[in-house]
Amino acid sequence: MSNQSAPLVKESGWRHPRNQNSLPEVYRSMKIPKGGSWFRKFLAFAGPGYLVAVGYMDPGNWATDLAGGSQFGYTLLSVILLSNLMAILLQALAGKLGIVTGRDLAQACRDHFSKPVAMGLWVLCELAIAACDLAEVIGSAIALNLLFGIPLLAGVILTTLDVLLVLLLQNKGFRFIESLVIVLIVTIGGCLLIEIFWSQPQVSAVMKGFIPSGEIVTNPTMLYIAIGILGATVMPHNLYLHSSIVQTRQFEQTELGKRQAIKYATWDSTIALFFALFINAAILIIAAATFHTSGHTNVAEIGEAYHLLAPALGTTAASILFGVALLASGQNSTLTGTLAGQIVMEGFLNIRLAPWLRRLITRLIAVVPAVIVTWLYGANGTTQLLILSQVILSLQLSFAVVPLVKFTSDKKKMGAFANPLWLKVLAWTVAVVIAGLNIYLLYQTFTGI
The answer to whether the CB of 158 falls within 8 A of the CB of 342 is: no
Position 384 pLDDT exceeds 70 = no
CA distance 353 to 423: 38
> How do residues 251-279 score in pLDDT, each as one tens digit?
999 999 999 999 999 999 999 999 999 99
Q: Which of the listed ranges 214-223, 263-272, 435-444 does the model predict with the highest average pLDDT? A: 263-272
CATH code (residue 133): 1.20.1740.10
> How do residues 55-85 score in pLDDT, each as one tens digit?
788 776 787 888 889 999 999 999 999 989 9
Position 42 pLDDT exceeds 90 = yes
Position 217 pLDDT exceeds 90 = no
Residue 84 CA neighbour count, 13 Å, CB half: 25
> How do residues 336-374 score in pLDDT, each as one tens digit?
877 888 888 889 988 777 766 766 776 677 677 777 777
Quote the mean pLDDT of the chain.
Answer: 84
Residue 228 falls inside a structural domain: yes
CA distance 235 to 241: 10
Least confident of 37-51, 114-128, 366-380, 404-418: 366-380
Position 39 pLDDT exceeds 60 = yes
Residue 16 falls inside a structural domain: no
Q: Which of 70, 69, 25, 24 lies closest to 350, judged by CA? A: 24
The answer to whether the CB of 104 falls within 8 A of the CB of 347 is: yes
Q: Which of the listed ranges 118-122, 127-131, 159-163, 170-174 does the model predict with the highest average pLDDT? A: 118-122
CA distance 129 to 20: 22
Higher per-residue pLDDT: 87 or 20? 87
Mean local confidence (pLDDT), 93-107: 96
Q: How confident is the model at residue 130 (pLDDT cuts 50, 70, 90)?
A: confident
Position 3 pLDDT exceeds 50 = no
Q: Total domain count for the chain? A: 1
pTM reported for the whole predicted model? 0.88
Tell me phi and psi for residue 102, to 5 degrees: 70, 15
Residue 96 has a pLDDT of: 97
Q: Which domain holds residue 243?
A: 38-447
CA distance 351 to 343: 10
Residue 307 falls inside a structural domain: yes
Neighbours of 446 (CB within 10 A): 8
What angle do the packed helices 77-101 and 105-112 form, to 10 degrees? 70
Residue 87 falls inside a structural domain: yes
What share of the chain in percent tops pLDDT 90? 41
Residue 366 has a pLDDT of: 67
Position 119 pLDDT exceeds 60 = yes
Identity of the amino acid at 272: A
Position 6 pLDDT exceeds 50 = no
Mean local confidence (pLDDT), 42-67: 86
Residue 283 falls inside a structural domain: yes
